[in-house]
Structure 1
Amino acid sequence: MQEQTIHHAREVPFPHALRSTTGIDATREPVLELDQIQGNVIPGFSKSHETLLFLRIVDVSHCKRWLKEITPLIATAEEVLSFNRLYKALRTRRGYATVQATWVNIAFSYGALQRLTAGTPAELRDGNDFLDPAFREGMASRADVLGDPLIPDAEGNPARWLIGGPGNEAEILLIIQSDSAEALRETVISIKSRLAGVTVMLTQYGANLPQELAGHEHFKFLDGVSQPGVRGRASAHPDDVITPRQDPRDPNHGKPGQQLIWPGEFVFGYPYQDPAKPVNEPSDSASSTTTANPRNEREQLPVHRGAISEAGPSWGRNGSFLVFRRLRQDVGRFHAFLNEQARQQGISPALMGAKVVGRWLSGAPLSRSANEDAPDLAKNECANNDFRFFHADPVLTGGAQPPDTLAPRCGGCAAPGIFEPAPADRQGDLCPFISHIRKGYPRDSLTKAGHDLCPNCSDEEKSAVSERDTQRRRILRRGLPYGPVSPSTLEHPLRDLHDEPVNLARPADRGLLFVCYQTSIIGQFEFLTHFWFNNPDFPEKGEGLDLVIGQHNGPNGERLRQARVPLKGGVVSLVTAQEWVIPTGGGYFFAPSLDALKLLFAGS
C-alpha cells in the first residue's frame, strides 16, 4: 500500500510538568511499576510536536526482530515522570527550562497481537483472551455504537476513513512526540530507516497551536482543562505521589476540582473505582463492575472483577487500551452556526459558544463566570476546574495552595473574593445539560446510575451514588491538534480550503488527533460516546445531543441533531443537520508493558 504523508503545524496542550509533594500520606495507594508502564499513559508526554506512524505487519518474524530493536526506545512512565519533575524544578528555580526530550510509545491492534503471539511459549499464550469485546471487534465494526454515519458514501463512514476502515486497519501505532520539530523529524527518519517486517500505511503530523492559541483546539476553545488525577505512588515513600495534591480542603483532589481516580481505571493490574464504595476507597476481592451493552441496554457486560483490573491475558498487567480517533473539524461551519443562532437570540456569539461548550474561549467555566469571559479565571489552575453542578461552591478565597515547596503555587491562586461563587445548577440553567463539558463529565449531577441504584433515596444521596459511577467512566486524554490555524472567529466566521472534506489526493484538512487511555473501551470511551454524548436523554430526558461531537443516525440515515439551551428569555431549541466534527480515521489498540513487549519478540 502506498504510504500517505500528511504535514500539519498545529496546537498541543501546554506542558504541565509533575512534581514531588510533601506532607501527604498516600500509603493506601499502590506503588506503580513505572519502569513497565508506557510514558504517554502516565503521566503523558505533553510535547508540542507529534508524529503518528500507522503500520501494517507484512512479515511476522522480521517484525519481531524490529520490535526487539525498537523496544529500548520506548519511553517509560518512570523516565517521563523524572523528566517532567526536572523540567518543573529548573523552570521554578531559573524562571525557564532548557531541557528537551523526544519520546516514543507503541500500541497494537487485537489482530496484531493475535499474529505476534501465535505459536509462542505458553507464558504468552496462556489461554486467556482479551475481555473487552470492543477491542476484539475493532473500531470500524463499532460504527453503530459510536454513531458514525452508516450511509456508505458519507464522509464519516469507516469505508471512507484515511486509516482504520474495513481492510485498512493499522496493526501497530507508533507515537513520537518531541519539544522540537527538528528533533522529531530526525527521530521519525531514523525510525523509518530501521523498519522491518512492517509497512507504513499513514504518517500523520500534529503540533501545538502557536503563541496565544497554545493549548486550544481548532474551534479556539481551551482544551484539556478537566483531566482526572491518578492515584498511586512513584516509590515506597508515602508522599511520592504521581498526581500532586494541591487542594488542602479535599485530600481526594489533585488540583481543586480534579478528582483522584484509582489507577486500575487506566492501567491494568491495580485497584479500580468500585461504585459501591466511596470514591476514595479502592476495589477489593469482593468488587465487581459491569456496564450496559450499547447494542442491548438491558444486558450488563463484565468490566472488572476482584481486587485489581485485568485485561485477560496474564501479560496484560501494566498495559492500557488506547483509543485513536482522527477527527476533522470544520471550523468555519461551526462558527457560522453559533454566530447565526446568537444573532437570532440577541446574544453574543461568544456566549452562544460558551453555552454549547460549557466554557468560554479562554477556558473559563460558565459555572463561575455566567455572563462574560474571564481570562484570569481561565489561567488560574486552582480555580478553572473548581466547580460542581448539583452542589454550590463558594467564592474562592485563595486558600487552595499546593503543600509542596518545589514549584510555584498552582499558577498563583486567587486573592480573596476575586472569583465568583459557582451556584448549584441542578436544572442546567447556567451550564446547559447539553454542553460539551457537562455531557462528558457530569460531576455530581444526577445520572441514570443514581436513579437506578438508589430509587428510593433522596436527591442528595442519588448525587453521591451518581458521582461514584461517573468517576469510573473517566479517561486519560492525550490528543493533539493537526492542520493550520483557521482564520475564522465566532464574530467573523470564515470557511477556507482546510474546512473541506479530506481525501488521500488532498489531505489538507485540520482537526484533532484524539487519543485516550483506559482499561475498558466499552465501559469508558464507548460508554461516554454512546450513553452520554450521543444520548438526547442524558442527563435529562429530551435535552438533546452534545452539539460539538455528538452524532445521531436517523431511521433513513439522516443526521439531524437537536439541543435545548436555556437563555434569559427562555429555552431555545437548536436544530441542525450540519456536522463540524467528522471521524476520518481511528482504531482500538493495546499499549503493553515493557515486559510484555519482550514477550512479543521472544524467539526472534
Structure 2
Amino acid sequence: MVRPTLSNVVGASFRVVIPPGWFTTISVINRRTYHHLVSCTYEVDGDKYINYLASQWNQANSVMRDTVNSNDVVMVIPQDNAVTVDFATYFSTRANPSQEDLEDPKFKCNRVDVLTSEKPSNAPKDFPDYVTFMVMVEDNADAPGKADTPLFDDLVININIMQVGSPDLGSKYNLRNIQGDILPALPKALEYFYYFRISDLQHFRQTFKTFVLPKVTTADKLVNNPPPPVNPKNPESFKYPFLGVNVGFSYLALPFFGLTESLGDAAFEKGQQQDAKELGDAGTQRGNFWTPKWDGAFKEDIHGIFLITAYNEKVATDFIAELEAAFRVTPNRSSIQNVVVVHGFPRAGAEALNDHFGYRGGMSNPQVAGVTFKDKMKFPGSPLIPIGVIVMGYDGDEDKDKRPAWAKDGAFMVTRKLNNLVPEFDDFLLAHGPRLFPQLSPKQAADKLGSRLFGRWKNGTPTELSPDNDDPSIAEDDNRINNFDFDLSKGQRRCPFASHMRKSNPRNDVTPVESAFGHFVRRHNMPYGEEVSDEERDGRGTIKERGLHVVCYQSSIVRGFKFIQEGWYNDPNFPPNKPVQPGWDPIFGQTGEESQNVHRFMSGANPSLEPEIMSFPLKFIDPRGGEYFFSPSISTLTKYVAAT
C-alpha cells in the first residue's frame, strides 16, 4: 500500500507526497519572537494552491496563521490522485518585512530535522491509518545555540496525514444503497416523525413495496443530484415540491421480515425504554421492569418510524394522507397503527438556526469526506471520520466482520423527544448570572452565564474564542466558528470543562484526538413546539410542550449515542485528567429523579473562581420518549421488508 512520504530535503525546503484517499492537516508553531513564514504549494485537478502561514512579531511559542483567512490549520482534502506539497521556510529578524521580502532566498531557513510517527502495529484494526511528520527547523547555522538548547528549535511544522478513503464514491461507497438521512441528511424546512406499529404484516409488506419503497430518498440522490436548498430570504424556495422519505425498524420488528441474526448491539436489542434508566431518565423500577416517566405513547410497542421531510406543509401532509390511505386494508382497518407523530419545524425569523433555548448548533457534526462535503467542509474544524463510524460494513465499523450481510449500508438510528424547559432555564440564568458577573446588567450577566453552560454564545460564537462577548465577526465566519482547539493552559477561564459543547466534542481534551472519533454520531435534529408565551415567562414556568426531537446515526449505539450520554454527558469526571472535577453536562446531563437529591453540578461556571461548584436542582431537558431503530439499506428493504 502506498503511504505518505517526505523527501527532497534541500536546506529547509522539502516535499510531502499524499496518496489518494488521505486527509492532511498542516500546522506550525513559531518558537521565536521574530518573523517566520512557511509556504505550502500544491496542485489539485490542475489548479495551483499556495497557502502561507505567518507568525506575529514578538510572539514566541505561538501558532502561525494563514495570511488570507487567519486559519491556524491548512487542510488538504482527500483526492482521487496523489497530491504533492512543496514546503519552504523563511525567517527575518527585521520588524516589518513584507511577505514578498520574506520569500527572498536570502531569508530561507537553514535546515530541518524530521521525526516520523505512524500507526502502531498493535493499534485496533479499525483505527484509521496515519503518518505524522514533525519537522523541526533551524533558522541560521551561524547562530550558535545555547549549550542546553536544541539547534532545531526555531520552528515546528506538524503534518498529520490520515487515511479516510477515496472520494471516488462510485466505487468506494454504495450511496444508492444508503438511506439519505443517514448521510448526508434529508433537506428539510419541516419534518414529521411518524412512529407506527404493524398490525397486518402481509398487507404492510405489499404496500411498503408498491407505495413506500419507490419514494425512499437515497444518499446518492442527495450527494449527486440534490434539490435546491431552502433559502429563508426567498419565499419562493419553499414552494419547491421536495419530499424526503426514510424508514427505520425497531428490534421488535426485524423478525417479522426474517431478519433474525444479531446486529451485535446490546442496547438496540434491549430497546430504549429498558435502557432509559442507564441513560439517566427518570422512572420507576418494578421488579425487573423499568418504566420511564415518558409520554404514554412511547411506552407502547413501536415497530418502526417514517421520517418525512418537505419544504412546505402541503407536500408533507398530502403524503401522510396518501400513506395512511395506502396502508388501509378496509375503511375501518389499517395494516399499521399510528402510535405517535411528532411535528418538527425550525423556529421563525432570526431564530431559524437556534434551538428553543436560543442557541445555534450543528456546526461540529462529524464529516465524511466526499459524502457530507466534496471540496471543503462548511465548518472547518469538524471531526473527519471514516464512514464506518456511521454506516455499517465499512472501515470504522468495529463490528463489520461480525454482522450479517444484510446489515451493510445500514445504520442505527436513535430518536429522542426532549422537552426543553425554557422558562426554567432563563429564570436560572437571571437568578445566578448577576451574582457571578455583577459588573454587567442582569440580562448581560444571564447571557454570559448561559454561554458558559453551553460553551457558545447564542449566535454560535465559541467562548473558547471569545469568552466575554458574542463576537459577530466569528459567528458570521464559517471558517472560524468551529475551527479551534481548547487552550489547555487556560483551564476553565474560557470554556468550562463540563459545558455542553465541550462534552459533545472534546477535541484535544482527549489524546490522541482521534480516540474520540469512534464515538461520534451524526445528529439531524429538529425543534418542535410553540414559542414561549408571555404567561410562561411571567413566572408560570413551562405550560406548553416544546423541545428538540433528536435523530442521530451511528454504526454502534453502544459506542455512539449511549456512550456519549452515559460516558460524556452524565460522567462528572469527563473530560478526564482535569485539575478539578468537571461535573455533568448542565444541559443534556441526566441524573434520574431530582427528588432523590442527585443533582447535576459543574465547576468552571464562574471564570474568576474555577473550582466553585454550581448546582442545578432542576433539569432543563426532560426526556419524554424515543426508540432505537435500524435503518436498513435499500437492498435489504427490497429483499426482506418488501418481500411478499
Partner amino acid for 1:469?
Answer: S
1:468-479 aligned within 5 A: 468-479=514-525
Which position in structure 2 is the counterpart of 1:368? 465
1:55-454 aligned within 5 A: 55-69=196-210, 70-84=212-226, 87=228, 99-117=240-258, 128-151=261-284, 158-165=292-299, 168-195=300-327, 196-231=334-369, 233=370, 242-246=372-376, 255-272=379-396, 304-305=398-399, 309=400, 312-345=403-436, 346=438, 347=440, 348-389=445-486, 423-424=487-488, 427-446=491-510
Contact 1:434 1:545 (C-alpha < 8 Å) held by counterparts: yes
Partner amino acid for 2:228?
Answer: Y
In structure 2, distance between residues paired with 1:494 and 1:145: 36
Q: TM-score, normalised by structure 1?
A: 0.71
129-138 or 426-435, larger mean C-alpha shift? 426-435
Which position in structure 2 is the counterpart of 1:404? none
Quote how far apart the aligned CAs of 1:68 are: 1.0
Partner amino acid for 1:172?
Answer: G
Residues 425 and 364 (structure 1), Cα distance of their counterparts in 2 relative to 1, 3 Å cut: farther
Instruction: Report the RMSD for the aligned CA atoms in angstroms.
Output: 3.0
User: Could you report, residue by residue, the CA deviation over 1:156-202 in whole angstroms, capped at 9, with x for unpaired residues?
Assistant: 9625334332xx13111000000112211111111111125211111
How many residue pairs get matched?
463
Contact 1:130 1:312 (C-alpha < 8 Å) held by counterparts: yes
In structure 2, distance between residues paired with 1:42 and 1:142: 26
User: Could you report, residue by residue, the CA deviation over 1:137-174 in whole angstroms, capped at 9, with x for unpaired residues?
Assistant: 10011122201113469xx9625334332xx1311100
Quote how far apart the aligned CAs of 1:563 are: 1.0
SS of 2:191's partner is strand
Partner amino acid for 2:584?
Answer: L
SS of 2:559's partner is helix
Partner amino acid for 2:350?
Answer: E
Residues 89 and 61 (structure 1), Cα distance of their counterparts in 2 relative to 1, 3 Å cut: closer
In structure 2, distance between residues paired with 1:42 and 1:534: 28
SS of 2:344's partner is strand
Quote how far apart the aligned CAs of 1:442 are: 0.5
310-319 or 336-345, larger mean C-alpha shift? 310-319
**Mapped pair 1:591 → 2:624:** no
Residues 483 and 25 (structure 1), Cα distance of their counterparts in 2 relative to 1, 3 Å cut: closer
Which position in structure 2 is the counterpart of 1:414? none
Quote how far apart the aligned CAs of 1:214 are: 0.5
In structure 2, distance between residues paired with 1:226 and 1:380: 14
In structure 2, distance between residues paired with 1:485 and 1:89: 22
Residues 226 and 245 (structure 1), Cα distance of their counterparts in 2 relative to 1, 3 Å cut: same
SS of 1:323's partner is strand
Residues 555 and 209 (structure 1), Cα distance of their counterparts in 2 relative to 1, 3 Å cut: closer
User: Could you report, residue by residue, the CA deviation over 1:419-474 in whole angstroms, capped at 9, with x for unpaired residues?
Assistant: xxxx555622210001000011110113xxxxxxxxxxxxxxxx3x2x12111111
Residues 115 and 495 (structure 1), Cα distance of their counterparts in 2 relative to 1, 3 Å cut: farther
Which position in structure 2 is the counterpart of 1:456? none
Which position in structure 2 is the counterpart of 1:531? 567
In structure 2, distance between residues paired with 1:105 and 1:310: 26
**Contiguous gaps of at least 5 residues in structure 1:** 1-20, 118-123, 234-240, 247-252, 273-302, 390-422, 447-462, 501-507
Which position in structure 1 is the counterpart of 2:619? 579
Residues 568 and 141 (structure 1), Cα distance of their counterparts in 2 relative to 1, 3 Å cut: closer
User: Could you report, residue by residue, the CA deviation over 1:469-499 in whole angstroms, capped at 9, with x for unpaired residues?
Assistant: 111111100110000122579xx955567x2
Residues 221 and 597 (structure 1), Cα distance of their counterparts in 2 relative to 1, 3 Å cut: same
In structure 2, distance between residues paired with 1:555 and 1:577: 7
Which position in structure 1 is the counterpart of 2:587? 548
In structure 2, distance between residues paired with 1:443 and 1:194: 48
Quote how far apart the aligned CAs of 1:352 are: 0.2
Which position in structure 1 is the counterpart of 2:188? 47
Contact 2:409 2:633 (C-alpha < 8 Å) held by counterparts: yes
Pick one of 518, 527, 550 that aligns with 1:481. 527
Quote how far apart the aligned CAs of 1:566 are: 4.8
Quote how far apart the aligned CAs of 1:46 are: 3.2
Which position in structure 2 is the counterpart of 1:394? none
Partner amino acid for 1:204?
Answer: V
Residues 358 and 102 (structure 1), Cα distance of their counterparts in 2 relative to 1, 3 Å cut: same
Quote how far apart the aligned CAs of 1:603 are: 4.2
SS of 1:444's partner is helix
User: Could you report, residue by residue, the CA deviation over 1:285-308 in whole angstroms, capped at 9, with x for unpaired residues?
Assistant: xxxxxxxxxxxxxxxxxx715xxx
In structure 2, distance between residues paired with 1:321 and 1:601: 17
Partner amino acid for 1:428?
Answer: Q
Quote how far apart the aligned CAs of 1:116 are: 2.3
User: Could you report, residue by residue, the CA deviation over 1:473-527 in whole angstroms, capped at 9, with x for unpaired residues?
Assistant: 11100110000122579xx955567x23xxxxxxx41111100000010001000
Larger radius of gyration: 2
In structure 2, distance between residues paired with 1:334 and 1:46: 30
Residues 151 and 425 (structure 1), Cα distance of their counterparts in 2 relative to 1, 3 Å cut: farther
Between 1 and 2, higher relative CO (CA 8 Å, sep ≥ 6) is seen in: 1
Q: Which has the higher strand share?
A: 2
Contact 1:74 1:105 (C-alpha < 8 Å) held by counterparts: yes
In structure 2, distance between residues paired with 1:45 and 1:472: 23
Partner amino acid for 1:171?
Answer: H
Quote how far apart the aligned CAs of 1:271 are: 1.1
**Contiguous gaps of at least 5 residues in structure 2:** 1-43, 48-76, 81-164, 328-333
Partner amino acid for 1:315?
Answer: W
Residues 49 and 568 (structure 1), Cα distance of their counterparts in 2 relative to 1, 3 Å cut: closer
1:24-43 aligned within 5 A: 25-27=78-80, 28-29=165-166, 31-43=172-184
Quote how far apart the aligned CAs of 1:310 are: 5.3
Contact 2:344 2:529 (C-alpha < 8 Å) held by counterparts: yes
Contact 2:264 2:402 (C-alpha < 8 Å) held by counterparts: yes
User: Could you report, residue by residue, the CA deviation over 1:561-582 in whole angstroms, capped at 9, with x for unpaired residues?
Assistant: 1111253431332112211200
Contact 1:486 1:496 (C-alpha < 8 Å) held by counterparts: no
Quote how far apart the aligned CAs of 1:90 are: 11
Contact 1:59 1:197 (C-alpha < 8 Å) held by counterparts: yes
Residues 46 and 583 (structure 1), Cα distance of their counterparts in 2 relative to 1, 3 Å cut: same
Pick one of 594, 597, 612 that aligns with 1:558. 597
Q: TM-score, normalised by structure 2?
A: 0.67
Quote how far apart the aligned CAs of 1:61 are: 1.5
Partner amino acid for 2:523?
Answer: R
Which position in structure 2 is the counterpart of 1:513? 549
In structure 2, distance between residues paired with 1:591 and 1:146: 22
SS of 2:361's partner is coil
